[in-house]
Every structure is written in C-alpha cells, then in structure tokens.
Structure 1
Amino acid sequence: MAFMETLLSLISLLSSALLLHAAVEGPKPITLSLIHPFSPHSPFYPGNITDTEKINILIQGTKARMHNLFSTMREQNWNGSSEVDDIVATVQYTSFYFVAQVGIGSFPSFPGQKGMPYLLMIDTGSRLTWVQCEGCNPCFPLQQLNFPYNRSQSYKSIPCGDPACPTPKQDCFQAFCGFRISYGKDPGASTAGAIIRETLTFPSDFGGIESYNNLFLGCGFKSYGYTFPQQNKIGGILGLGFGGSRPLPFLNQVGKKRFSYCLLTSEHTNSQLYIGEGAKMIGPQVQSTPLLRGSNEALYYLDLQDISIQNIRLRLQALFSGGSTIDSGFPLTVLHPNVYGRVRIGFVQYFAQFHIQPYDSRSKPRDLTLDLCFPNPSGFDMYPTMTFHFRGANLVVRPPGIFATGKNYICVLLKSGPVTTIGAFQQSRYKFSYDFELGDRTRGEIGALRFAPEDCGSPT
C-alpha cells in the first residue's frame, strides 16, 4: 500500500473544503463540491507540511471534537417543521472544521451583496445556529467585523417571554429571547446571547443567490473559553444536528428532510454534498440502518451490533449499550474504551500471524502519536478489512480507510474515547444519506442512514 495514497485519502476526508457547484433556481437540491484543503486551489491551503504533521492533524482534530461533543455539551429543548425550495451555500474548511459561507442580514449599502458573509462551523452535533454579534463582551477573536445586527434592515428582535421565542424563558438575555450553550468542560467553551430573526443568504459560484427570510438566529454577546487563534475566520455555528419537530434547528427552518455526502479521497477530485431531494438514495447496492434517538438528542445514533476484522467477528454486542453515533465532524473513528481494547487485541492477533508485533513505548518512533503502530516489513500488503455491523447493514471499511503507512510503520487510525463514533476517515469510499422521511417512529427511529459504495469524485 503506497503511503502517499493513504495519506492523501486521510487528509482529504478530514480537511475537505466544500465549494458550491449548483444552480439556485427551482426545487433542486443543494449541491456542494468538496475540494482538498491542501490543494493550492483551497482558500485554506497551508503550504508544505510534513507527512507526520498531516497525520497529527487527524489526532488533534479528533481530540478537539471529542472534547466539544462529549464533555457535558448542553443545549435546551426546543420545539416545528416546514417544506420549501432547496438552498445553496459555499462551504470551506478551516482548522479542523467544515465551515459554510453564509450571508447574514440585509445591507443595501453594499452593492451586489445581500448579506454580510460569515464562515459558520458546520456542527452535526448541534441544533443551534448562531453568529458572534457587534457589542459582544467578552468575544472570541474574529478577523472580520462581528455581525452588526442593528444595521441590518432584516433584523427583528424577539422580547423575553414572547410566544414566538423558541427557547425557555430562563434563557432570556436581558429583555430579549435568549440562548445559552456550552461545549466541553474544564473549563470548556460557552456562548450566551439573544435569539433574533434574520435573513440568511447562500451564494453560489455561479453568482446566484438564495435567501431565507425571518429565520431564528442566535446573536452571541458573551463567549468564554474558545481557543481560536487571533487570525480566526470562524464567526459562529451552523447547527445541522437532529431537530425533531422543534422550530429552531436550521434543517427544520429551511424545510429539509434529508442530506447526503460522499467524502473524497484525493486532492485531485471533486466530490459533493447534497441537501434536499437530491440526497435520496435508491439502488441494489444501497444498504439501510435506522437512525435512533440517544442520550444527546442532537446527535445521530446507530444500532452498532458488532465489529469484524477480516471477517472475524469480535462478538462485542454487550459493549455497545451506551449507543454509537456517526459524525463526519470526527476525523477518526472513536471507540468506547472497552470496545477499543477488544478491537486493539483483534488487530494485534491479525498481524501476529505474519510475525509482526506492535511497537511498545520504547521502540515506537517518537513522531508516531497514534496508539497502535506496527513495524512495516518490506513488501507487506496483507492488510485486513474492518466491518461495522449495524442493524440491517454492514459497512466494510477497506484498508486505506483503516491504516496510515510509512516506510517503517503501519498505524491503525482509531482512538479510544467516551462514546463510540464512526468518523470521517472510516466513511471514505461510500455515499451516505440521512433521510428523515424514513424510519419507524414507534420504535424510536428518527430516520434512516442509507449508504452504498461510491468513488466519491470526478477529476477537477
């Protein structure tokens, strides 16, 4: 297995920049083109960095995501639903995160521009969409102006206690409908502010515009604990988490009932994300497993029943009682410690038949920070598959989605963490569709995750 092929696959999954590739007229789906962040065409091209630095980006991004989602993340319970035409958005990648370029507000004094452009972090684990606003104190660093809500012609305030306010009265911000949200702990990050109504605009690379008026938007006035650098370009959060029938989540406000993506595997290809009707998947190769409710209502849970390594079942059924999630915001797959321990043994036993033993703490090269790494014998190519057995569906991950390899090492791209989560790298070479029109609600199903093998791209 060529190292650079694996590495390009690895980095593209984590760091893909999404740039719009769709017309805006009629009920067509959102169609987003994914571009490798380390391509010179990416707005976040970092220049030349070493192979080890690229691999470490995976690990750092996974740790950051674990901290944000599974360390007492809290959101209030909000309650709605609708159906409208499809929208478009320019999406890019910065730091460890997917971000969408969204126009916010109405400023006629800016010719040819309907809203001020902001990069909002796409978070499939959050239902709330918010941006940092002018007058914030304290604020996190932002390269551009904080959103000047008072100068927007489409800004509408919502008084505290108003029946239209989608958040609890105890979250009021001064005299206005408000929100409070926390990510992580020790000390974690948090934002509080007002819920307002605003216009969101999604530009295309063709120059078209699709606007949605009178949407709920969080206006952040007090932010604590964020570790963004001074050159930070992220202005807030675009929440794509599950919303049920609540009115506040973005997908409900714009009336979308499905979205899909296919993560690319090379900086030389384009791949796409769809939101809307075009995200529907049918065909003989399509498998389906229920999307379930879990302890965090914003996340997408799956019934993961077992894991296989090269078709050998590990018989882990009793270890998944806490639930399993899927999240493209996680670079690497994270396994609960009990599950990770069994999977680790499975890989050690597999490589032992080829007389390959894992590095210990003394022999492992110092620049390898992944937990499970092996020496790489010259000419070795007997890498195993890893299969996630879901209820009614099997996700077979090929070796390029499991291993990072170099001249002297083979590393398994998995992490131990508090909740089992299928990450982006292990979703490679498949198209996934989250369809909320499917599923048996009487069994706690909120929809269905459908997937099928796909090359995920065409030449740029």
Structure 2
Amino acid sequence: MAQATQLPQLELSLLLLVLLLGTAHEVHSLEGKKALSLRNLFWDQMTSTPNCFSQKSIQKNGATILEIVHQDHCSGKTVNWNQKLQKRLILDDAQVRMLQHRIKNAHSGNIKEDVAKTQLPITSGVRLQTLNYIVTVELGGRKMSVILDTGSDLTWVQCQPCRVCYNQQDPLFNPSASPSYKSIPCNSSTCQSLEYATGNLGVCDPRTPICNYLVSYGDGSYTRGELGVEHLNLGATPVDNFVFGCGRNNKGLFGGASGLMGLGRSSLSMVSQTSNLFGGVFSYCLPSAEVAASGSLAFGGDFSVYKNSTPISYTAMIPNPQLPTFYFLNLTGISVGGEAIQSPSFGKAGILIDSGTVISRLPPSMYRALKEEFLKKFTGYPPAPGFSILDTCFNLSAYQEVEIPTIDMHFDGDTELKVDVNGIFYFAKTDASQVCLALASLTYEDEIGIIGNYQQKNQRVVYDTTGSKLGFAGETCSFI
C-alpha cells in the first residue's frame, strides 16, 4: 500500500487535473494491482484550445490508418470540469436506458410498432455527447470530422442549406458545390435498404422523389435530411459512390464535429460499404487522454504493424438475429486483483461492446461481486459520496500514489481484456476528493451488459466482421 503523502494544495490541484484529463503518468505493475504515480506535466495543453480536426493519415502494411482524437478537442477550453463530467454521465445513463429499451423491443418483435408510435422512421442506439472519439475524412473534397460509433450504421454530416444546425468548427458540406454528389431516389434499392438494415423505413416526401432519413437520439437530439452518394477519401484510400446522410435539420450534443461515422454491421455502414476494400475488418485504439493525445482507426491490413501492442487474442462474436448490426461477445468471467468473482450472469447472455457508451454496465449481481472484491483490495483510502451513476467513490486528495486493483474481463477462447489503469477510475473532481470506480450497475438482471469506451482505453480492439470475431491487445495508443 502506498504511503499517504501531503502535497501543497496548488501543486496537488495541478497534478490531479493532469490525471483527470488523461495525460501521461507513470504506472508500474504489482501483484494484482497497478500503482499510479502523479507527476507534473504540461499545464499549457489544458489551457490551450486544441484543433478538432486531425488531418493525419497513413497507409502501412495494407492498412488505411486515420488519427483518432477525443471529442473535447472540438470543445475548446473547459472552465467547469465538474459540471461537464457530471453532464456526460447523465447523458450516458440516458443512452443506456434507451439502448436497453431498443433491445427489449427487438426481442419482443416490437421494433416497427415502437417506431410507428413515435413516428421515427429510423432509430439508433442513443448517441449523445458520449460519442466522443473523432476522425477526419474527406467527403467531396472537403475535410469533415466525424464521431466514430460502432453502435450506429448511417454515416452523416451537416449540409447546406441547413434549416436547423448545431455549431461545428468546419464549414458545412455543400452538396450543390460538389460535381460528384448525387441524391438517392425514393424508389431505389438503397433507400429500401434502410428498412432491411434497421427494420425501419426510409421517408418519401410526396413533393420530392428524394429518399429522406431521420435518426433520433435519446435526449431529443436528431439528424434529418436526404440520402446521398459522394466520393469519400479515407486517408489516401478512395471510396466511390459512398452512401451517407446529408443532414438539413440537426440538433444535439455533437460537439464541434461535422457528423458521425457509423461502424455497425448493416449494409449502409462504413464497414459494409468498404468491405470490398478492407474485407470487413477494422480496428481502433482509443487514447487515454481527452486533450492533446491521439489514437488510431485502421481499416484492413496487417494488425502486427501497431507499435507497443501485445499479441492480439480473439473471441467469437455472438450472433443476435434480433439485433444483427450490434457487436455481442460472451463474457465468461471477471477478475479483480487476480481474484475471479462469481455471478450467475456469466456466459448466460451476450455483452455488447460499444464505442459510443462511456461507462461499462454490468448486471446487478455481477457488479455487486466486482464492487465487493474491489473494496476488499482497495483498502485504507477514505470514502467519498457517489457521483451520478457511480456509487463507489474515494477521497484521494491526500495521495500522490495509489495502488489500484487490476480488472480483467474474460471471454470465450481464453481471450482477456485487461482494463488499462486509465479505465478503472473516473475523476469526478479536479482535486481528487471524489474519485470513483468507473463501472456501473444495470437496473435489472436480465438487461444486456455493455462494455463502454472508458474500459477500452489503450487497447487495440479489432473487429473482423467477415470472420465474426473480435480481438483485444494492450497498446499505448498513439498515431503511428
């Protein structure tokens, strides 16, 4: 156990704010624990306004690799971090509740009935401010920053003329200025594929032959517009006749991004539309830092090209006929500090892995067992009040080093996700007086668990949709 050491208050606040933002820190492994030492780094990277638009891309060993940055790169300087973090968790909870609602409707066969009641032609997993990792692509010759999301299928950007638009950093896409842009007609098979891909219909306005779409999100956010075809460049890789949503009415918490990249499994997703180029394979590494750090999104290629990566171990994706566009895995166990916990939910139902959910959610029995074992091993630290959806919190303001129990998730095929030290604690206050275990419980035992992006930090996560398998490898995320 690390000895408590008092620090001057100003120095302590600066150091802990550095940790809060996910900047570099020293980590060394102990038996079943990870010791985390804070050290003073660059204050100016937190007070400067970073550029949202990563324009870096390379091709290596047959892979097209794009730089990933956090959505906070689009938000500029944040004055009230506590308020922002609390809002993020509230929105994350709304996402999970809506996602569970969609899953229940799918299993009961009521997707179309539910959509008819709400009059929403297309629904998706709730995508709020939690969609917080961004890549830059080139659409019709214009740079566009888009939020990557494995829980959505349709890629869309805001378009001129825009009747209702949220603020974004880059100019809006103007289809009338692009000679390669074409609208998709209502009676086309592509328009009809909206129904085949999502179980919902495309919208046909009797006043126009153009295929329209509407995607609604859980907090009232939405994007509405027309389906179009355009030339897309993923780095140096061209993609002809790419189908996307040209949003004319858009409202919501999308930061300063231009739109969203759908990485689900339907016929309209980025993965499916580029399968002839990349074989239905992509991977990402989400950086631990929210400011001044980057990771990578790769399509196709040899995944041995990634530096600082452990060997990739694969587990089979579990098919779900009711929700075929999502990615499900079989979670067989969890270890805390090297000790396996017990839960009747292991191996009973698939767990969803989603880049758009922040905090992982576990069935109540599983979460209780994890929490109990974590508290057994993380002793001697004063407790703190819960924070939003997080109920296991500590006051670490008097410490400059803590020993954190490791958390490992086990899947079929002896595959492990060793949660990085940055994915174990959520810093609710900049003075570290409220530091919380970054996992939460679902409401009911029969709800589907979710592996969020917070627990995916510093991991190479490989999606092989053709081979129907998913791989994990520990990696210090950086753009190659």
Per the normalisation by structure 1, the TM-score is 0.71
What corresponds to 1:332 in structure 2? 359
Tell me if 1:171 matches 2:202: yes
Closer/same/farther in 2, CA of residues 49 and 273 from structure 1, 3 Å limit: same
Q: Cα offset for 1:402?
A: 0.9
- Superposed CA offset, 1:278-301 (max 9, x none): 446899833211122334332211
What corresponds to 2:184 in structure 1? 158
Tell me if 1:273 matches 2:297: yes
Q: How many pairs are equivalent? A: 398
What corresponds to 1:456 in structure 2? 477
**Is the 1:402–1:426 contact (alpha carbons within 8 Å) kept by the matching residues of 2?**
yes
What corresponds to 2:449 in structure 1? 420
What corresponds to 2:375 in structure 1? 348
What corresponds to 1:386 in structure 2? 407
Q: Cα offset for 1:179?
A: 4.9
Per the normalisation by structure 2, the TM-score is 0.68
Q: Which amino acid aligns with 1:413?
A: A
**Is the 1:197–1:216 contact (alpha carbons within 8 Å) kept by the matching residues of 2?**
yes
- Superposed CA offset, 1:78-112 (max 9, x none): xxxxxxxxxxxxxxxx985223333333xxxxxxx
- Superposed CA offset, 1:254-276 (max 9, x none): 22321122233456765433212
* Whole-Å separation in 2 of the counterparts to 1:48 and 1:164: 42
* Whole-Å separation in 1 of the counterparts to 2:287 and 2:154: 28
- Tell me which of 102, 126, 133 is aligned to 1:98: 133
Alignment of 1:91-240 (within 5 A): 97-105=132-140, 115-135=141-161, 137=163, 139-143=164-168, 146-165=172-191, 166-168=193-195, 170-174=201-205, 175-176=208-209, 178-185=211-218, 188-202=220-234, 210-223=237-250, 226-228=251-253, 233-240=256-263
What corresponds to 1:83 in structure 2? none
SS in 1 for 2:334: strand
**Is the 1:11–1:54 contact (alpha carbons within 8 Å) kept by the matching residues of 2?**
no
* Whole-Å separation in 2 of the counterparts to 1:134 and 1:37: 23
SS in 2 for 1:9: coil
| Unaligned residue ranges in structure 1 (runs of 5+) | 78-93, 106-114, 439-446
| Unaligned residue ranges in structure 2 (runs of 5+) | 3-14, 26-49, 113-128
* Whole-Å separation in 2 of the counterparts to 1:291 and 1:131: 30
Q: Cα offset for 1:421?
A: 1.7
Q: Which amino acid aligns with 1:370?
A: L
**Is the 1:20–1:31 contact (alpha carbons within 8 Å) kept by the matching residues of 2?**
no
**Is the 1:301–1:325 contact (alpha carbons within 8 Å) kept by the matching residues of 2?**
yes
Q: Which amino acid aligns with 1:157?
A: S
Closer/same/farther in 2, CA of residues 233 and 22 from structure 1, 3 Å limit: closer
Identity %: 25
- Superposed CA offset, 1:364-403 (max 9, x none): 39x8873211344758744211121111212222544312
Closer/same/farther in 2, CA of residues 50 and 300 from structure 1, 3 Å limit: same
What corresponds to 1:301 in structure 2? 328
Closer/same/farther in 2, CA of residues 177 and 50 from structure 1, 3 Å limit: closer
What corresponds to 2:425 in structure 1? 403
**Is the 1:132–1:147 contact (alpha carbons within 8 Å) kept by the matching residues of 2?**
yes
- Superposed CA offset, 1:283-341 (max 9, x none): 98332111223343322111112222212222224366442112233332222344333
What corresponds to 1:90 in structure 2? none
Q: Which amino acid aligns with 1:178?
A: C
Tell me if 1:46 matches 2:67: no
- Superposed CA offset, 1:57-77 (max 9, x none): 763563464366445399999
CA RMSD across the alignment: 4.2
What corresponds to 1:9 in structure 2? 22
- Superposed CA offset, 1:159-212 (max 9, x none): 322345433495242243635444444x6344444322222234x5xxxx5432
